[in-house]
Each structure stands twice: as structure tokens, then as C-alpha cells.
Amino acid sequence: MSTLADEGDRDARASATSEKEAQARRAETPEATEVDVWSSFEESVAYMRRLAELYDEAFVAPRAAAKRSAVPTVASIDAAKQHAREGIELLATNLLNVSSAIVEGLDHQVREPDRRQTKGL
């Protein structure tokens, strides 16, 4: 059975790899940027959901199954805090990327009619 730290590390590595791949694709085309940003954001949400499942398995389920109250170790609580912090940072970064892509798309839509009017004059 894998531990919470192992699962979180594996998810973090996969997420970091996905983020690097998404950044490389963003450089290719503006249209791909919007799709990649949303994909990255969705991956972050999936990562956070997986973390929530791991926490349930690690902390909630054992307590419910135990007749007496089980206390998590300091190490497991510290690992949970670290994984949560990393997940929130990843989610915040991807949310910023999505917001930036939306702003860039809106700017492009605003500038395009201006360019057409300038060329037409």
C-alpha cells in the first residue's frame, strides 16, 4: 500500500511534468495557449481532488474504523500540510495562467477591430 507522501510526490511530479509540457505547447500558438491553460487548470483541480481522497483515506477512514480515537502522527500531519500547500500553489499558478489567457484573448479581440479600422482608412 502506498503512503500519502508517496502518492503526493508522484502526483506532484506528474503535475510538474504536465506543466512543463503545457508551457512548451503554449509557445507554439496563441489558440493552443487557451486550451493548454484550461487543461492545466483542470489537472490542478484533479490533483486537489486526489489529495482530498488521500487525506480521507489517511485520516478520516482510519478514525471511523477505529473503536477508539486514533491520533495521526506529527510527520503525517506535516506531510499533509506540505502537500496541501503545494497543491494550492499549483492551483493558484494555473488560475493565474487561465486569467492571463482570458485577458490576452480579450485584448486581442479589442485590438483586432481597431486594426481593421486603421487599415480601412
Domain ranges of the chain: 4-120
Q: Residue 80 pLDDT > 80, yes or no? A: yes
pLDDT at position 50 is 84
All 3 cell numbers of residue 82?
A: 506540505
pLDDT band for position 1 (50/70/90)?
Answer: very low
pLDDT of 27 reads 52
- Write out 95-117 in H/E/C secondary structure: HHHHHHHHHHHHHHHHHHHHHHH
Across 14-71, the runs of DSSP E, i.e. the strands, are none
pLDDT tens figures, 2-61:
454 555 556 555 555 555 565 555 555 555 556 676 777 788 888 888 888 887 777 776
